[in-house]
Amino acid sequence: MYLALFILTAIPSICKGLDDECDVGPKDLYIEMGSDTEITCQTSCTRGKIFWTQDSKPLDENLSKTINSTHTVLSLRNFTQRSATVQCHRADTKQIVGGTIIKTYFKPSKISCVLHYNNQAIEGIPILFTCNWEHQVDPPLEINYTVLCGPKQIEICNSRETTCTSRYGAIDSTLPLFGESSVIVRAKTKDWEVSSDPYKFTTTNLLKIARPALNVTALSDHLLVEWKILSHITRKSHCQVKYRKAVDEETPEWVRNKTLENGNNKKGNMTIENVESCSNYTFTVRCALINTSWSDWSLEKTVLTKLKKIDVKLRLWRKVDEVEKNGVRRVRVMWTEIPSTCQDSFTYAVKQTPDEEHMTGANYTLCSSSVCDMNQNAHRIKLTVFEKELLFVEDSVYVPAIGESVPQVTDIHSSTLDGMILVSWKAPVQPVSGYMLDYTHNGNQYHWKETKYTNATLFDLLDKTPYNITVTPLFEDKTGHGTQALQICSRVGDPGDVTNIDVKAKDRSAFVSWKVTSQEACSGVVVNYTVFYRAENGTWIDDTVASTKQDILLKDLIPETEYRIFVKATALTGSTKSSETRFKTKRYDPSLSTTLSVSGGILIFLVFSLGLCCALRWKKFDEKPVPNPGNSSLASWLSTSHEKPSQFFHIPSESFCDRVDMEEASRTSTPPKAPSRNDKPAGDQTEICTNPAPHIQNEDPTEAVETQHPSSPGESTELLSPQNSPSSPYRTQSPVEIPALRPNKQSKPVKNTTQRMVYVTLDMFEQGQGL
Ligand SMILES: *[C@@H]1O[C@H](CO)[C@@H](O)[C@H](O)[C@H]1NC(C)=O
Ligand SMILES: *[C@@H]1O[C@H](CO)[C@@H](O)[C@H](O)[C@H]1NC(C)=O
Ligand SMILES: *[C@@H]1O[C@H](CO)[C@@H](O)[C@H](O)[C@H]1NC(C)=O
Ligand SMILES: *[C@@H]1O[C@H](CO)[C@@H](O)[C@H](O)[C@H]1NC(C)=O
Ligand SMILES: *[C@@H]1O[C@H](CO)[C@@H](O)[C@H](O)[C@H]1NC(C)=O
Ligand SMILES: *[C@@H]1O[C@H](CO)[C@@H](O)[C@H](O)[C@H]1NC(C)=O
Ligand SMILES: *[C@@H]1O[C@H](CO)[C@@H](O)[C@H](O)[C@H]1NC(C)=O
């Protein structure tokens, strides 16, 4: 290794030491790609044979030629490598005598030049001369290009790009507008310089004319494209018209060619017919003189095409309404209006005439907008469309006379499927060319549809909307009688809402009723109702009734339990549920407690009456009248207790008690404690002495039943007043309230009641004095 380095560095010094030149030249050789070159190896220092290598590979000895004892020349032909290292070696020691690097470059190629306009709108001579070329440079270098013109190689343009523009005015002396000339492009870097091959041309063939001026006019059924070439040079030229529909998405482009001949070579025109009505189209045009390059495309022009008569489909139709009283028929006229995108203003006129006059060709009368009133005779309705007062198109439709023998379809069947209505019918016996269906959901807005078959599918309908459909046969240029199908819904929806759930609960059963209300015309027909109910912690129980019933009796309920309940209405097309409500069952059977309270009341009355009578009778025998001191004598008082007992009391005739033993009454009375309304022993009732019958008659039995319920907290079965004492003879004069007639929590105090009472009058003082 060291040895090699020593040799590499030592050899030249040895050579130098010998004062003999030993080298390869020229150094840093740049040659044009594909050219020939020669390299000289000076071998003064060795005087031996040499050989050559290129990128370390030996070169053919034939390429090398020894001129004299010190100079050997290597000739390289058609050198195409981008870069190569060429070295000269001593044949005996293979030592490198010297070397050089050869690099290649390309010359500019594919030159093209045009004479053109700076400002496309200005007529006149082309004022710019632009050349473009290609130049392969790798890696990129700073290159100065020069365009040289004419046989005298006059510089006309400098650039660092592969394009260069000069003003024609500055070079017109070197570049005659007529005749032949040539340019070359010279490329210059710091290391090398190369010129292109000459680009020869006839100046007029370089002419790129200004872009044409374009105008497009929309006519009734076609478009007229016109353009003008702005050029002094009058020669035959080719032009291209390019157009497309101006919409957002990509649309196909059409290109039409047109050659302008020598005679009329400045103005072109073209008729475009295959365009859609009322659509925007965009046009552009370009032209080229023969053998020259295309001009730029003209500025785009967009035009709205006009409505073509052939595209107008009025689809005129009429719908005969029911005959009115005076024999006038109302006929609605319908047609498809011309789309509003068509700029022209169109007006419509609807006229009618009796059919026979239509045959003889005259007298139409104007209908009021789209409704014609006519008698029972056959008529013809004519629709005329004017475009700015000029007749554009017209169409007519036949209305048969009432009872006229014209075809009519029968057996119309309609059904719905996914919001569509399928209609089918039976063809009439007479031959017909087709059928027209018209259908409406509100009587104002009509749709109509023609078919050749005896069925049709109507779609794009409003959802859950009833439709009236009429089928009318068509024949020749006339129409038959229409047949209306039964009104049909485009879709049948859920049943109506279940509302007004009413529950009448007893202890073990409940009577539930409900209503169904529907806002929609097309709600489903209920098939059955299912009532779902459950106790608070129970599972849902369901019970179904047919759609004919809107009530149900729920059985086997648990007394005094809160239930949740809702009702589901099921139709074939769906179901609806009511909202959930609650009810509570009673503790006892209310009818049982009615019986109980009524019979209990009677029993109480009887017992009390009996007690009172017994008490009075006892008093009669037990108590003596109080002696009048005025009548007293000083004689000692002897007991006369049992004298005339029957005169002590006067019992009113209306009293229920006739002879009541007071002692008996005392014994049946309660102990003398203050009665409490809220905490009242059931036995208190036995103290009531009432005449309840008239009150119970005046009241609703149910309410009465509830009030009599012993468990009812609001009950105010009345008591005897506190002053009642078994020892007082006046005790029964207190008013006695019968049970309150309403389950009123705020039961009234005793003294406020105005109930009927039983009085027992103790007349003993007067009677006694009268004795
Ligand atoms: C050999 O040829 C070269 C070139 O022709 C010349 O320059 C040189 O002087 C010659 N050497 C001798 C020794 O003649
Ligand atoms: C190119 O031209 C400019 C001036 O025109 C000069 O300054 C520059 O050195 C030139 N470059 C080369 C590579 O010749
Ligand atoms: C129109 O001309 C161009 C070029 O001249 C050509 O390629 C194209 O086929 C022509 N089109 C028609 C429809 O003739
Ligand atoms: C047209 O109508 C007018 C008025 O109704 C009537 O006088 C005239 O005779 C009619 N013409 C024809 C040809 O029926
Ligand atoms: C649909 O037809 C029925 C029966 O002929 C009619 O009573 C109703 O008014 C019609 N409805 C509409 C919107 O025309
Ligand atoms: C008419 O009925 C035939 C046979 O039922 C069916 O194939 C056809 O699709 C129907 N046409 C329309 C428009 O519904
Ligand atoms: C209620 O009607 C629906 C729909 O027809 C049916 O599926 C269901 O079985 C019926 N329920 C009863 C309990 O009949």
Q: How far apart are CA 230 and CA 234, in angstroms?
A: 10
CB 291 within 8 A of CB 207: no
Is the peptide bond prior to 735 cis by the omega test (within 30 degrees of 0)? no
Burial (CB < 10 A; 0-12, 13-18, 19+), residue 401, is middle
CB 420 within 8 A of CB 458: yes
Q: How many Å lie between the centroid of ligand 7 and the Cα of residue 381?
A: 54
Q: Where are the beta strands (DSSP E) in 461-587?
A: 466-475, 478-479, 483-484, 488-489, 497-505, 510-517, 526-535, 541-546, 551-554, 562-571, 574-577, 581-584
Lowest average pLDDT, out of 9-23, 183-197, 486-500, goes to 9-23
Q: In this structure, which amino acid lies at residue 102?
A: I
Burial (CB < 10 A; 0-12, 13-18, 19+), residue 168, is buried
Beta strands at 64-68 and 410-417: parallel, antiparallel or unpaired: unpaired
Q: How far apart are CA 83 and CA 712, in angstroms?
A: 121
Q: How far apart are CA 720 and CA 406, in angstroms?
A: 98
Strand order in the sheet with 50-54: 29-32, 96-105, 83-90, 50-54, 57-58
Q: How many Å lie between the centroid of ligand 1 and the Cα of residue 24?
A: 14
pLDDT value for 720:
36
Q: In this structure, which amino acid lies at residue 137?
A: V
Q: How far apart are CA 202 and CA 402, in angstroms?
A: 87
pLDDT value for 626:
54
Q: How many Å lie between the centroid of ligand 3 and the Cα of residue 257?
A: 6
Q: In this structure, which amino acid lies at residue 585?
A: T
Lowest average pLDDT, out of 135-149, 155-169, 505-519, 620-634, goes to 620-634
Report in angstroms the alpha-carbon separations of 469 from 429, 524, 577: 21, 21, 33
Mean pLDDT score of the chain: 77
Q: What one-character DSSP code corresponds to residue 702?
A: H
Can you tell me the mean pLDDT for 673-688? 39
- Tally the C-alpha atoms within 13 A of residue 572's C-alpha that lie toward its C-beta: 4
Q: How many Å lie between the centroid of ligand 1 and the Cα of residue 254?
A: 75
Q: How far is CA 202 from its chain centroid?
A: 67
Q: Which ligand is nearest to the CA of 65?
A: 1
pTM of the full predicted structure? 0.53
pLDDT value for 66:
86
Q: Which ligand is nearest to the CA of 258?
A: 3
More confident residue, 580 or 730: 580
Q: Categorize the per-residue pLDDT at 419 as very low, low, confident or very high, splitting at 50, 70 and 90.
A: confident
Can you tell me the mean pLDDT for 75-90? 91
Nearest ligand 2 atom, CA 189: 13
pLDDT tens across 236-258, in order?
A: 889 999 999 988 778 889 999 99
pLDDT value for 692:
38
Q: How far apart are CA 580 and CA 564, in angstroms?
A: 7
Residue 418 CB less than 6 A away from ligand 2: no
* β-pair partners for 184: 148
Q: How far apart are CA 67 and CA 670, in angstroms?
A: 167
Burial (CB < 10 A; 0-12, 13-18, 19+), residue 261, is exposed
Nearest ligand 3 atom, CA 257: 1
pLDDT value for 61:
85
Answer whether residue 628 shows pLDDT above 70. no
Residues 6 or more apart in contact with residue 234 via CB below 8 angstroms:
262, 265, 266
pLDDT value for 729:
38
Q: How many Å lie between the centroid of ligand 6 and the Cα of residue 418?
A: 16
Q: How many Å lie between the centroid of ligand 5 and the Cα of residue 396?
A: 27
pLDDT value for 631:
58
- Atom 3, ligand 4: which residue's CA is nearest? 363
Closest CA to 313 of 284, 277, 349, 351: 277
Q: How far apart are CA 283 and CA 459, in angstroms?
A: 40
Residue 440 CB less than 6 A away from ligand 5: yes
- Atom 3, ligand 1: which residue's CA is nearest? 71
Enclosing H/E stretch for 694: helix 693-698
Check the CA dihedral 506-679-753-690 and report its sign: positive
Can you tell me the mean pLDDT for 457-462? 92
Residue 69 CB less than 6 A away from ligand 1: yes
Q: How far apart are CA 543 and CA 552, in angstroms?
A: 8
pLDDT tens across 325-355, in order?
A: 788 899 999 999 888 778 778 899 999 998 8
Q: Categorize the per-residue pLDDT at 731 as very low, low, confident or very high, splitting at 50, 70 and 90.
A: very low
More confident residue, 750 or 315: 315
Can you tell me the mean pLDDT for 587-613? 70
pLDDT value for 683:
37
Answer whether residue 484 shows pLDDT above 90. yes
CB 468 within 8 A of CB 439: yes
More confident residue, 264 or 128: 128
| Dihedral Cα 199, 200, 201, 206, nearest 10 deg | 10
Check the CA dihedral 492-494-499-504 and report its sign: positive
Q: How many Å lie between the centroid of ligand 3 and the Cα of residue 603?
A: 124
Answer whether residue 733 shows pLDDT above 90. no
Q: Categorize the per-residue pLDDT at 362 as very low, low, confident or very high, splitting at 50, 70 and 90.
A: low
Closest CA to 437 of 293, 315, 259: 315
pLDDT tens across 193-226, in order?
A: 999 999 999 888 888 888 899 999 999 889 999 9
| Neighbour count for residue 186 (Cβ, 10 Å) | 19
pLDDT value for 12:
45
Q: In this structure, which amino acid lies at residue 364?
A: Y
Q: Categorize the per-residue pLDDT at 629 as very low, low, confident or very high, splitting at 50, 70 and 90.
A: low
Answer whether residue 597 shows pLDDT above 60. yes
- Atom 4, ligand 5: which residue's CA is nearest? 487
Q: How many Å lie between the centroid of ligand 6 and the Cα of residue 455?
A: 6
Can you tell me the mean pLDDT for 169-179? 75
Lowest average pLDDT, out of 47-61, 319-333, 706-720, goes to 706-720
pLDDT value for 512:
92
More confident residue, 661 or 275: 275
Burial (CB < 10 A; 0-12, 13-18, 19+), residue 183, is buried
Is the peptide bond prior to 26 cis by the omega test (within 30 degrees of 0)? yes
pLDDT value for 617:
72
pLDDT value for 126:
67
Nearest ligand 6 atom, CA 451: 13
Residue 443 CB less than 6 A away from ligand 5: yes
Binding-site residues, ligand 7, Cβ < 6 A: 527-528, 544, 570, 572
Can you tell me the mean pLDDT for 284-291? 90
Q: How far apart are CA 464 and CA 521, in angstroms?
A: 8
Q: Categorize the per-residue pLDDT at 170 as very low, low, confident or very high, splitting at 50, 70 and 90.
A: confident
Q: How many Å lie between the centroid of ligand 7 and the Cα of residue 528?
A: 6
Per residue, the 3-state secondary structure of 4-56, as one string, reads HHHHHHHHHHHHHHCCCCEEEECCCEEEECCEEEEEEEEECCCCCCEEEEECC
Answer whether residue 406 shows pLDDT above 90. yes
Angle (CA) 258-263-264 rounded to 5° is: 55
pLDDT value for 668:
42
- Atom 10, ligand 1: which residue's CA is nearest? 68
